[in-house]
């Protein structure tokens, strides 16, 4: 199996520059950093703190909430698909017996 090459890319988030080592391409890392930066700036306008650590934790909680909601929707969608397939299989079975 081929070993992925890791490269170092500098990203800027909330005014600070961070070196990040990853096998992702630099453009996708910049895009991720931009999302984090945008979320932190959004939160900093809504809260009464300038503590970057607290703002980062709130951003992480926001992202975690979005992830959980997406997973729940996906699980719900999968459940609907399973119900539909089961109903169609029953209908087909009934039609074949007639």
Q: What would the pLDDT profile of 12-48 be if each residue is shown by its tens digit?
A: 999 999 999 999 999 999 999 999 999 999 999 999 9
DSSP state of 89: H
Does residue 42 fall inside a structural domain? yes
| Total structural domains within the chain | 1
Q: What integer pLDDT is reported at residue 60 of this predicted model?
A: 96
Q: What integer pLDDT is reported at residue 79 of this predicted model?
A: 74
Helix (H) or strand (E) holding 64: helix 52-97
Range of the domain at 53: 7-97
* Cα→Cα distances 12→35, 68, 71, 90, Å: 11, 26, 29, 56
Does residue 2 fall inside a structural domain? no
Does residue 28 fall inside a structural domain? yes
What is the signed CA dihedral for 79, 80, 85, 88, rounded to 10 degrees? 140
Residue 92 has pLDDT above 90, yes or no: no
The two tokens of residue 21 are 């080592």
Does residue 26 fall inside a structural domain? yes
The whole-model pTM stands at 0.72
């Amino acid at each position: 199996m081929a070993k992925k090459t890791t490269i170092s890319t500098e990203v800027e988030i909330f005014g600070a520059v961070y070196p990040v080592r990853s096998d992702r391409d630099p453009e996708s890392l910049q895009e991720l950093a931009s999302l984090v930066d945008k979320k932190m700036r959004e939160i900093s306008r809504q809260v009464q703190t300038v503590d970057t650590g607290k703002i980062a934790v709130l951003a992480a909680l926001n992202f975690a909430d979005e992830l959980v909601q997406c997973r729940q929707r996906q699980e719900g969608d999968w459940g609907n698909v399973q119900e539909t397939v089961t109903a169609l299989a029953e209908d087909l079975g009934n039609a074949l017996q007639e």
